[in-house]
A and B are shown apart, each in its own frame.
Chain A
Amino acid sequence: MRGITRLSSLVVLTLLILMAGPAMAQSTFIFGAQGEPVDLDPAIITDGISSRITRQIYEGLTKYKGATTEVVPALAEKWTVSADGTVWTFILRRNVKFHDGTPFDASAVVWNFERWRFTKHPQHEDQIKAGKTFEYYEAQFGGFDDKSLITKVEAVNPTTVRITLKAPQGPFLANLAMFVFDIVSPKAVEQWGTAFSKHPVGTGPFKFVEWKVGQEVILEANKDYWDKANAPKVQRVIVRNIKDSSQRLAALKAGEIHGMEGVNPDDVKVVRADPNLQIILRPTNTTGYVALNYKVKEFQDKRVRQAIAHAINKKGIVDALYGGTGMVANQFQPPSLWGNNKDLKDFEYNPQRSRDLLKEAGFGQGLKDITWEDGRKEPLQFWYMPVSRPYYPNPKEIAEAMAADLAKAGITVQLQTTDWAVYLDKRKNGQLPLYMLGWTGDNGDPDNFVCYFFCNPGASREGFYANQQLAEVLLQAQKLTDQPKRAELYRRAEQMIHDDVARIFIANNQPPLAFLKKVKGYVANPTGSEFFNTVSLQ
C-alpha cells in the first residue's frame, strides 16, 4: 500500500514538474558549442571547441588582453629579455595554486616546458603512444629535443623562470599566450597519464566538474582564484554540444542556452531582429584568399594575375554573402594585426581593365584553357572548398559569384570541388590551378599569418610561388624582438605580395556569436577562445 502511495505521489510530482517546465538557474552560463571537445589537455589540442573550454580551466604565462591580441601578463607577473633576445626571465605570481591544491611555481613551469619539448619525457611519450602529438609546440618552436628553438628552461628560484632560445623569436610572448602553452598541474598529469585529458587541472577561474560524453562539459567557479578582481561572476558554466546550427539557434531563442557560436550568415539578420537576442562579432583574425598555381604558364604572366584581381567584385561578394559580418580584404593580414599595411591600395574592381590586361598578355579572346609547365592543356578549373570556414562561410556561393565576375572579364572557369581531405591533399601537392582557401590566426602575430605561406619559396603547398626576397624579409622579421621594426618589415612584405599579385585576398570575416540580451561582459577574442570569468547574467 505504501508502495502504491509512493508511486502515485511520484507520478503526481512528475506530472506537476512536467507541466511547469524548467527554470534556468541564473548563476549558470550555458554556451552552445558546434561540437564536442576532442580533449581537455591544452598541450595536445588544436581545435577551437576544446580550447574554448580549456581556456576557462588553465592559464599561461602570458595572455591576450580582452578583444585584442595584445600580450599582457597572466601567470607571469612580468618579464625581461636579454639584449640579444635569446634569454627571457619570467617573474611568476605568488600564492597561486592549481585546482588540486598543489602550488604553481617555477618547478611546475619547467616541468610543463620539459613535457612539451622532450620526446622521452614520460608524459610526452605516453601521449605519442596513444596517438596524440604536441603539434603546436613543434609548429611554434621549430620541433622537439635538439630541434627545439627553446634550449633551456630553468627554475632560478621558486618564482623565477629563465628560458634560453637558440635564436631570438619575435612572436615568443604571443606564442606563450596561445592556449596550447597553458600551464597544467604536473601532479595531476603524473597521476592520470593520458587520462588527464578527462581530468583537467589548472589554475584558471573555473574548475572542471564533469564531461558528459556526447552532451556537455560542466565547470564551476574556482573560489580560490588568485585574481580576485576578475573572479568569475557565474557559479557554473555548461558548454553543450549542439551540432546542428538551426537547433543551436532554436535552443537560444527558447532560452535553453545563453550563447552560441557558429551563427549561419543568413541567421545574423534573424538574431538582430529579435529583441531578446544580441550579436557579438569576433574581431577579425581571418582572411580568405584565391591562390594561383605558378606551374600554370598563363599565371606566370603578372598581367593575367592582375586581370583576375581586377575582375573580382569583392565588395559585392562581402555585401551579399557574409551576412553583414565580412570586410573586404586587400592584404593577407587582417586590419586588427599590427603588421597590416594601412597605405596599401587595393586593385579596383574593373572588368574592362581586366579585359585590357588580358589582351596585353595575348588573351584578347579571353582565357578559358590553361597549359601546365609539363605541357598538359586543360580547361581552367576554379576549386572551391567543400566545407565552411570562418573566412569563407559559404564557399560554393562565393565561388559562383567569383566565377560570374571572372566571366564578365572574359575569364571562363569551371567550378570544381572534392572531399575536404582530398582538397587539402591536392593543395599540398600543388595540383590545384586556381583555388580558394584562407587562414585564421593563432596568436595575433603577423609571422603566424604571412611566414607560414611565404617563408618557403617554391613550396608545392603554396602553388610553387617562389619569392626569395619576400622570404628573406619575413625571416628577418621573425628574428627581431623590436615590434616597430618588425611591423615595418611586415608592411613591406604585404606591399611585395600585392605588387607581385602573389595571391588575391578576398575577405576578412568577423565570425558572429549570438547571445541572449541578458548576457553581459562576453568579450570575443580574435584568436577564437576567450575567458568566461567576465560573463554575467542579468
Chain B
Amino acid sequence: MGAYAIKRFLTIVPVLIGISLIVFSFIHLIPGDPAVAMLGERATPQSVAEVRAQLGLDRPLYTQYFLYVGKVLRGDLGASILRGDPVLRDLVRRFPATVELATSAILIAILVGVPMGIISAVWRNSLVDGASRLIALTGVSMPIFWLGLMLAWFFGVVLGWLPTGFRLGTEVTLAPVTNFYILDSLLTRNPAALASSLRHLILPAVALSTIPMAVIARMTRASLLEVLSQDYIRTAESKGLPQQAVILRHAMRNALLPVMTVTGLQVGRLLAGAILTETIFSWPGIGLWIFESIQARDYPIVQGATLFIATIFVMVNLITDVLYAAVDPRIKYD
C-alpha cells in the first residue's frame, strides 16, 4: 500500500512537467503580441517595446520557460501584468471562493446523485427510473452558462427569492479570516453574513452540480445494477435479508467503488465548470479570474492559475487512486 502510494506519486512528476510545458507554450502559440493586446488601440511603438522588455517577452522562448519553471519551484508565480499583484497571493486569496463553490456543488451532486442512482437501479425500468435517467441526461447535456442564466433569471429576477450573483450582499459586512465565507461567518459569529453567503451560494452551486450529479447518478445506477446481479446478492436475498439491508449494506459497498473514481474525476470538470459558473454569477474565485485574465492576456495569471488547477486535479486523482487501493486491497501498482 505504502509502496503503491509512493510509486503512484512519482508518476505525477512527468505529468506536471508536461502540464507546465503545455500551459507555457500554449499561451505563446496564440497569435498576437501580448503587449499590443494590453495597451490596446492607442499603443505607441515605444510603450509596446517597454512592456515587452519588462515582461521578458523579448527573450528566447526556452529562456522564458526555464526562468518560469525555476521561479515556480521557488513558489514565485510571477506578478499580474495588468495590476502588478503577485499571482500566488491572489491565488491564495481567491481559491477559497472556488473551493467553497466546488465543494458545495460536489456535495449536492453526491447527495442527490447517489440516491437518484439507487432509486433508478432498484426500480429499474419503472417510471421513476425513466424520470431520473431523463434528469441525468438533461444534466449532462445542459450548458452550464445557459442553466446558470436561467436559474439567476427565474429565482433572482422573476421570483426574487435568491440573489443573481456574488458571494455576499452589500448590506452585510464580513471580516475575512480564511476567505471561506461560510466558515468565516461561523468563526466571527455573524449570522447575517452566514445567511447572506448561504443565499448567494445556492444558485451557483446548483448550476455547477448538474453535470457531476448526472454522472454520479448514472454511474451509481450502472454499478449497482451490475452488483445486484451477482451471486452473493442472491445469497443474501435468499437468506431472507430485507431488501434495504441487501442494497445498502451489501450491494452499495461494492457498487460505490467506481462511483468514487468518477466523483474524483468530476473535480477536474468542476474546476473547468467553475470558469463559466463564476463568470455568470460574478463569483470571485479562480474561474472568473482566469476568464478575465485570458481576455486581458495576463500571461502570469493564466499560467499560474492553470498550473495550480491542473496540479490540484492531478493530486485529487492521486488521492482517489490511493484511497481506492486502501478500500480494495486487490489493487497493486505494476
Shortest Cβ distance from residue A483 to the other chain B in the assembled complex, whole angstroms: 25
Q: Which residues of B contact A46 (CB under 8 A)?
A: 39-40, 42
Is A132 on the interface with B (CB-CB < 8 A)?
yes
Shortest Cβ distance from residue B33 to the other chain A in the assembled complex, whole angstroms: 6
Is B265 on the interface with A (CB-CB < 8 A)?
no
Is B199 on the interface with A (CB-CB < 8 A)?
yes
Query: Taking A25-B171, A215-B284 as contacts, is the C-beta distance between A14 and B191 under 8 angstroms?
Result: yes
Is B163 on the interface with A (CB-CB < 8 A)?
yes
Q: Are A424 and B194 in contact (CB under 8 A)?
A: no
Q: Which residues of B contact A30 (CB under 8 A)?
A: 170
Q: Are B32 and A420 in contact (CB under 8 A)?
A: yes
Q: Are A10 and B189 in contact (CB under 8 A)?
A: yes
Q: Are B156 and A38 in contact (CB under 8 A)?
A: no
Is B36 on the interface with A (CB-CB < 8 A)?
yes
Q: Which residues of B contact A212 (CB under 8 A)?
A: 284
List CB contacts (< 8 Å) of B206-250 with chain A: none
Which among A21, A39, A419 has the greatest number of chain B C-beta atoms within 10 A?
A21
Q: Which residues of B contact A15 (CB under 8 A)?
A: 195
Q: Are B31 and A422 in contact (CB under 8 A)?
A: yes
Is B291 on the interface with A (CB-CB < 8 A)?
yes
A246→B242 CA distance, assembly (Å): 52
Q: Which residues of A contact B51 (CB under 8 A)?
A: 131, 133
Which among A18, A250, A253 has the greatest number of chain B C-beta atoms within 10 A?
A250
Q: Are B195 and A28 in contact (CB under 8 A)?
A: no
List CB contacts (< 8 Å) of B76-96 with chain A: 79, 81-85, 90, 93-94
Q: Are A35 and B284 in contact (CB under 8 A)?
A: no
Q: Which residues of B contact A133 (CB under 8 A)?
A: 47, 50-51
Q: Are B160 and A36 in contact (CB under 8 A)?
A: no
A242→B189 CA distance, assembly (Å): 29
Q: Are B199 and A21 in contact (CB under 8 A)?
A: yes
Q: Are B84 and A132 in contact (CB under 8 A)?
A: yes
Q: Which residues of B contact A418 (CB under 8 A)?
A: 31
Is B297 on the interface with A (CB-CB < 8 A)?
yes
Q: Are A250 and B152 in contact (CB under 8 A)?
A: yes
Q: Which residues of B contact A36 (CB under 8 A)?
A: 292
A419→B31 CA distance, assembly (Å): 7
Q: Which residues of B contact A213 (CB under 8 A)?
A: 85, 90, 93-94, 284
Is B54 on the interface with A (CB-CB < 8 A)?
yes
Q: Which residues of B contact A4 (CB under 8 A)?
A: none
Stretch at the interface among B19-27, B120-128, B275-283, B314-322: B275-283
Q: Which residues of A contact B152 (CB under 8 A)?
A: 247, 250
Q: Which residues of B contact A21 (CB under 8 A)?
A: 160-161, 199
Q: Are B282 and A247 in contact (CB under 8 A)?
A: yes
Is B69 on the interface with A (CB-CB < 8 A)?
no
Is A214 on the interface with B (CB-CB < 8 A)?
yes
Closest to A36 in B: B292
List CB contacts (< 8 Å) of A411-442 with chain B: 418-422, 424-425, 428, 437, 439
Shortest Cβ distance from residue A41 to the other chain B in the assembled complex, whole angstroms: 11
Selected from A14, A25, A240, the residue in CB contact (under 8 A) with B166 is: A240
Closest to B169 in A: A22
Closest to A136 in B: B42
- B: interface residue count bin: 35 or more
Shortest Cβ distance from residue B172 to the other chain A in the assembled complex, whole angstroms: 8
Binary per-residue interface labels of chain A (231-264) against chain B in the complex, 1 for a CB within 8 Å, 0 otherwise? 0000000101111101100110111100000000
Q: Are A17 and B280 in contact (CB under 8 A)?
A: no
Binary per-residue interface labels of chain A (470-494) against chain B in the complex, 1 for a CB within 8 Å, 0 otherwise? 0000000000000000000000000
A39→B38 CA distance, assembly (Å): 14
Binary per-residue interface labels of chain A (12-45) against chain B in the complex, 1 for a CB within 8 Å, 0 otherwise? 0111111001111100101000011011000000
Selected from B46, B84, B285, B291, the residue in CB contact (under 8 A) with A194 is: B84
Shortest Cβ distance from residue A247 to the other chain B in the assembled complex, whole angstroms: 5
Q: Are A242 and B165 in contact (CB under 8 A)?
A: yes
Is A360 on the interface with B (CB-CB < 8 A)?
no
Binary per-residue interface labels of chain B (132-152) against chain A in the complex, 1 for a CB within 8 Å, 0 otherwise? 000000000000000001001
Q: Are B30 and A425 in contact (CB under 8 A)?
A: no
Shortest Cβ distance from residue B77 to the other chain A in the assembled complex, whole angstroms: 16
Q: How many residues of A contact B (CB 8 A)?
A: 58
Q: Which residues of B contact A138 (CB under 8 A)?
A: 44, 46-47
Is B41 on the interface with A (CB-CB < 8 A)?
yes
A22→B280 CA distance, assembly (Å): 21
Is B55 on the interface with A (CB-CB < 8 A)?
yes
Q: Are B39 and A135 in contact (CB under 8 A)?
A: yes
Closest to A18 in B: B195
Q: Are B36 and A424 in contact (CB under 8 A)?
A: yes
Is A139 on the interface with B (CB-CB < 8 A)?
yes
Is B15 on the interface with A (CB-CB < 8 A)?
no
List CB contacts (< 8 Å) of B250-284 with chain A: 279-282, 284
Q: Which residues of A contact B324 (CB under 8 A)?
A: none
A214→B54 CA distance, assembly (Å): 25
Is B153 on the interface with A (CB-CB < 8 A)?
yes
Is B61 on the interface with A (CB-CB < 8 A)?
no
List CB contacts (< 8 Å) of A192-216 with chain B: 194, 197, 212-216
Shortest Cβ distance from residue B122 to the other chain A in the assembled complex, whole angstroms: 34
A17→B94 CA distance, assembly (Å): 26
Q: Are B47 and A422 in contact (CB under 8 A)?
A: no
Selected from B97, B163, B292, the residue in CB contact (under 8 A) with A256 is: B163
List CB contacts (< 8 Å) of A130-176 with chain B: 130-133, 135, 138-139
A244→B30 CA distance, assembly (Å): 24
Shortest Cβ distance from residue A425 to the other chain B in the assembled complex, whole angstroms: 5
Shortest Cβ distance from residue A516 to the other chain B in the assembled complex, whole angstroms: 13
Closest to A25 in B: B171
Query: Taking A135-B39, A421-B32, A425-B36 as contacts, is the C-beta distance between A14 and B195 under 8 angstroms?
Result: yes
Shortest Cβ distance from residue A235 to the other chain B in the assembled complex, whole angstroms: 12
Q: Are A14 and B282 in contact (CB under 8 A)?
A: no
Is B325 on the interface with A (CB-CB < 8 A)?
no
Q: Which residues of A contact B170 (CB under 8 A)?
A: 22, 24-25, 28, 30, 216, 238, 240, 256
Q: Are B32 and A250 in contact (CB under 8 A)?
A: no
Q: Are B198 and A14 in contact (CB under 8 A)?
A: yes
Is B192 on the interface with A (CB-CB < 8 A)?
yes
Q: Which residues of B contact A242 (CB under 8 A)?
A: 165, 282
Shortest Cβ distance from residue A102 to the other chain B in the assembled complex, whole angstroms: 25
Is B305 on the interface with A (CB-CB < 8 A)?
no
Selected from B42, B199, B280, the residue in CB contact (under 8 A) with A139 is: B42
User: What 9 A-B pairs are tightest by C-beta distance, nearest first?
Assistant: A421-B32, A214-B284, A421-B37, A17-B195, A13-B191, A22-B169, A18-B195, A250-B164, A422-B32
Beyond known contacts A194-B84, A421-B297: 6 more, CB 8 A cutoff: A16-B195, A22-B196, A24-B170, A138-B46, A247-B165, A428-B36
Question: Can you list 13 A-B contacts (CB < 8 A)?
Answer: A25-B171, A36-B292, A131-B55, A135-B44, A194-B84, A197-B84, A214-B289, A215-B282, A253-B157, A256-B169, A256-B170, A424-B37, A428-B36
